[in-house]
Amino acid sequence: MQTLRASKCGLSTAQLPPSILDVIDSLNKAGYEAYIVGGGVRDMMLGLNPKDFDAVTNATPAQVKEVFGRRCRIIGRRFELAHVYSGRELIEVATFRAPPKKAVTSASGMILRDNNWGTIEQDFARRDFSINTLYYQPRKGIVLDFCHAVDDIKTRTLRFLGEPAQRFEEDPVRMLRALRFAAKLNFQIDQSILDVFSVEMTQLLRDVSPHRLYDESQKLFTMGHLTQVLPMLIEFGVWKQLFAEIPPNLTAFIERAARNTDQRIQIGKTINPAFFYAVLLWKPFLERCDFYLNKGVVPAEARAQAGLDVLKRQATRTIIPRFAETFIREVWEMQTRLLNPKPQQIEALAGHARFRAGFDFLLLREKSGDSSTEGMGMWWESYQEMTTDQKEIAIRQYNRQRSKSRRKATEVVDEPKMTEIEPLVNVPEPRSRRGRKERVRSDESTPRFMEKASGDSSQVGADHPILRRKRVKRDLSQVVFGPTQ
């Protein structure tokens, strides 16, 4: 172990939020050791802005609860932690871990219980990556480095503590963490990890709870480097373990959505991770819709049932929460409404709670080359930038265009086949003007409805069906006319 000065590592208390200092000071005041550990220290040394900070202490979760009282909540069964609230901030406080006296593992080697308290020397050895083993004490201004983690940060190397295969077996989610750190920090994965990172090893992810895998997938979507990590998921065989029915290839739609997500995060805009799930599952959703439509199910029912089927299938890998499922299905349903809106409903549709998400989804489809949008993505984009008067004009123009398109479609369907009409009498057309006038006079003098008896009576014989009809005389004396009693 080496003790480094925090200032030489580029660390200072000015970089820390008041919430983490409050937790560290409260634990120290109560007589316990407390350090900042993990990604917060690593990111500050890399010059990044950490999203959150984690603390570690020699106090047990129950003792942490005694220090902070109602501000503390103990969570976890497999790995017991204390969540401490400082203002609006949440700080995760863990207790020093020791190797278990009796290993409680699954058949594949995954640790099922890890609540054995120990010392700081034992705790660092239980951590996964070397870059996450730096212990920073802000009030003393020191950094404890047990395994030359500072050197790995300088060389940008992602290295495991201990045997990589055993580390993956203890917690298969470390495979996702390795890819996430490599993509986010632009680190090289150590060769010892690559040697055991095989398709067979990724099968261990099947033993992980679908709820936990969903949480890890959210971290992948929201870290701001989605375009870098998606190809890595396919390359290392992790894609098939996370997504049930999504083919392991990046379509233009998925790539554009990934770039858009990263751009929004970089400029500080909020994102809904469920939106990217809607993008990933769009193709399976369309295929399932076609399945029901071919069975004769009405479109609205087909879409509803297809959405349920696709999300239920995905739940075998990552269980999407109910509110996120509702969001995804509403975004899919908005596609139909935005593609062919009724003119009188356009204004109300633009104020719908899911309009923005549905519009973003539609525009991404259109920009990625989906011709089925018929330019409506650009139309809605222009509509949002118009004034009230311009919107009314745009709606009238859209209504006229919509009516014109529907008339054309009707004419194409109902247009009869043109057949050549033969002339009744083959009389040559007069060449002179006088002859044509006389021809017109003779036609006008001929009755419009000439009886054809002269030509047709000879053709109607006694055996004609109309002449063979028997007429029955009715006795009108038995018929009562007028109202009856």
Catalytic residues: 52, 54, 128
Dihedral angle computed from the Cα positions of residues 317, 321, 323 and 328, in that order, rounded to the nearest 10 degrees: -10
- Whether the CB-CB separation of 35 and 55 falls below 8 Å is answered with yes
Strands in 78-206 per DSSP E = 81-86, 89-95, 134-137, 142-145, 157-158, 188-189
Q: Which of 88, 89, 82, 85 is nearest to 65 (CA)?
A: 82
- Whether the CB-CB separation of 72 and 86 falls below 8 Å is answered with no
Distances (CA, A) of 43 to 88, 93, 179, 272, 398: 22, 18, 17, 24, 52
- Whether the CB-CB separation of 110 and 171 falls below 8 Å is answered with yes
Distances (CA, A) of 346 to 300, 332, 338, 373: 20, 18, 9, 17
Tokens in use for 437? 């006038």
Helix H, strand E, coil C: the string for 201-233 is HHHHHHHCCHHHHHHHHHHHHHCCCHHHHHHHH
* Angle formed at CA 428 by CA 424 and CA 433, multiple of 5 degrees: 120
Q: For 219, how many CA atoms within 13 A lie in the half-sphere containing its CB?
A: 17
Buried b vs exposed e over 305-337: b needs ≥16 C-beta within 10 Å?
ebbebbbeebeebbbbeeebbebbbbbbbbbee
Q: How far apart are CA 315 and CA 75, in angstroms?
A: 24
Residue 453 pairs in a beta bridge with none
Query: What are the backbone dihedrals phi and psi of residue 128, each rounded to the nearest 5 degrees, phi first?
Result: -85, -60
Q: For 319, how many CA atoms within 13 A lie in the half-sphere containing its CB?
A: 8
Q: How far apart are CA 216 and CA 218, in angstroms?
A: 5
Q: How far apart are CA 130 and CA 187, in angstroms?
A: 13
Task: Note the Cα 392 to chain centre separation in Å.
Answer: 33
